[in-house]
Amino acid sequence: MKLVVMIPCLNEEATLPLVLAGIPTQIDGVDAIEVLIVDDGCTDRTVDVARSMGVQHFVHHIRNQGLSRSFRDGLMRSLELDADIIVLTDGDNQYKQQCIPELIAPILRGSADTVIADRETHTIEHFSPLKKFLQKLGTWVLNKAAGTAVPDATSGFRAYSRKAAMQLNVIADYSFATETTIQAAHKHHAISIVPIGTNEKLRESRQFNSNWQHVRRSSVTIMRAYIMYKPYTIFITMGVILLVIGLAPFGYFLWKAATDNAWLHHGPQHVRSLVIGGVLLVTAFMSFTLGIIADLVRINRQLTEEVLENVKRIRIEQ
Ligand SMILES: Nc1nc2c(ncn2[C@@H]2O[C@H](COP(=O)(O)OP(=O)(O)O)[C@@H](O)[C@H]2O)c(=O)[nH]1
Ligand SMILES: [Mg+2]
């Protein structure tokens, strides 16, 4: 059983030694523990620091590509390194690396594909009330979209089984955490939650300039992921709403046309109702059609993902 601890890093020379020192060197049930640094275009001494502390595996991005792509490339490399379990942690020592045994325990027991550490954000002192609220809201929306009960959607302290890592496909540029959680839910992966507090904050998050930017980007990711997996729910719901609203003026027009004698003498009446109702009904029809097409695309996507998983397996495991 091999564990790879993956640390995406953007200029973490100051805090990386603490992170590396915190990673356990022995865990019951694990034969080998190796560290993989994703150097996401570091311009400081992160890589030298890591090497001097014995890290042997690196993924290098010549220029900065962002956390989601770093995660995606790190996951792939971990699979190539024959990892049975992959742990993701941050380079700023936000997470308690010494708790990795608790984090991976559900995977070792065979009861989880993905484990997410719950930071218990309501207890974190340096999170402002607004940040806590947004965190709660974002988590609620994610759980609604994914049908999960994850308490901390954006936690970056996670563990993945080999199977989960093989099946996840990171597509969005932001919020890989929410994206992969939605994917895991739709692929019927077993998700476990382990409460693990965080370390004292050593620096500000560099990922987001503001809470709103975070909300905006995460919402877009959740929407995209949801549309990818449940397009018909969205389009058919939209279609039904438009159909119901459109039937009222259209029905009114038909009823008047059938009963109103003014038609005989003055030509068609209530044309406005006809136009409004007609436009709404055509839009409803288009929504239903889009729903059907999107569903066909979804089925195709599912097949492509299966092919992709097999290609990964052939490439990595031959
Ligand atoms: N901000 C940022 N972090 C990156 C990037 N690529 C990799 N990382 C790493 O992602 C982790 C999380 O970043 P951080 O700024 O602490 O954001 P937080 O998750 O909101 O605390 C750290 O280990 C970073 O070094 C990137 O392009 N931007
Ligand atoms: Mg951080």
Minimum-distance ligand 1 atom for the alpha carbon of 206: 15
Banded model confidence at residue 133, pLDDT cuts 50, 70, 90: confident
What does the pLDDT average to over 221-242?
A: 86
pLDDT of amino acid 54: 96
Number of H helices, E strands in the chain: 11, 7
What does the pLDDT average to over 233-254?
A: 94
> Which residues make Cβ contacts (< 8 Å) with residue 84, sequence separation at least 6?
1, 2, 3, 161, 162
Give the class (CATH, top level) of 2-228: alpha beta
Is 90 exceeded by the pLDDT of residue 313? yes
Give distance in angstroms: CA of 66 to centre of ligand 1: 8
d(CA 236, CA 208): 35
Banded model confidence at residue 227, pLDDT cuts 50, 70, 90: confident
Torsion-angle region of 120 (φ positive above 0: left; ψ -120 to 50: alpha; else: beta):
left
Give distance in angstroms: CA of 11 to centre of ligand 1: 9
Indicate the domain borders of the chain.
2-228, 231-317
Is 158 in contact with 117 (CB distance < 8 Å)?
yes
Is 80 exceeded by the pLDDT of residue 137? yes
d(CA 306, CA 205): 36
Write the pLDDT tens digit of every residue in 263-310.
777 777 788 999 999 999 999 999 999 999 999 998 998 999 999 999
Minimum-distance ligand 1 atom for the alpha carbon of 66: 27
Q: What are phi and psi of 154, to 5 degrees?
A: -100, 10
Pairing of strands 85-88, 158-161: antiparallel
**Ligand 1 atom 18, closest CA:** 205
Give distance in angstroms: CA of 274 to centre of ligand 2: 57
Give distance in angstroms: CA of 27 to centre of ligand 1: 27
**Ligand 1 atom 24, closest CA:** 9
pLDDT of amino acid 238: 94
Residues with CB under 5 A from ligand 2 (ion): 90, 92, 94, 205
pLDDT of amino acid 132: 81
Banded model confidence at residue 259, pLDDT cuts 50, 70, 90: confident
Residue in 6, 10, 60, 94 to alter for ligand 1 test, most ligand atoms within 8 A of Cβ: 10
Q: Kindly compute the dihedral angle of the four CA atoms of residues 139, 142, 147, 150, in this order, to the nearest 10 degrees.
A: -30
Is 90 exceeded by the pLDDT of residue 203? no
Pairing of strands 158-161, 114-118: antiparallel
Average pLDDT, the chain: 91
d(CA 249, CA 274): 7
pTM of the predicted structure, to 2 decimals: 0.86
Write the pLDDT tens digit of every residue in 46-68.
999 999 999 999 999 999 999 99
Q: What are phi and psi of 262, to 5 degrees?
A: -55, -30
Give distance in angstroms: CA of 251 to centre of ligand 1: 57
Three-class secondary structure of residue 57 per DSSP: strand
Q: Say which ligand is closest to the CA of 41.
A: 1
Banded model confidence at residue 21, pLDDT cuts 50, 70, 90: very high
Ligand 1, CB cutoff 6 Å, lining residues: 8-10, 12, 40, 64, 66-67, 70, 90-92, 94, 156, 205-207
pLDDT of amino acid 127: 78
User: Among 202-206, 245-249, 295-299, which stretch is predicted with the lowest mean pLDDT?
Assistant: 202-206
Three-class secondary structure of residue 115 per DSSP: strand
Give distance in angstroms: CA of 24 to centre of ligand 1: 22
Crossing angle for the helix pair 67-80 and 176-186, to the nearest 10 degrees: 50
Residue in 72, 116, 206, 214 to alter for ligand 1 test, most ligand atoms within 8 A of Cβ: 206
Is 115 in contact with 194 (CB distance < 8 Å)?
yes
Give distance in angstroms: CA of 176 to centre of ligand 1: 12
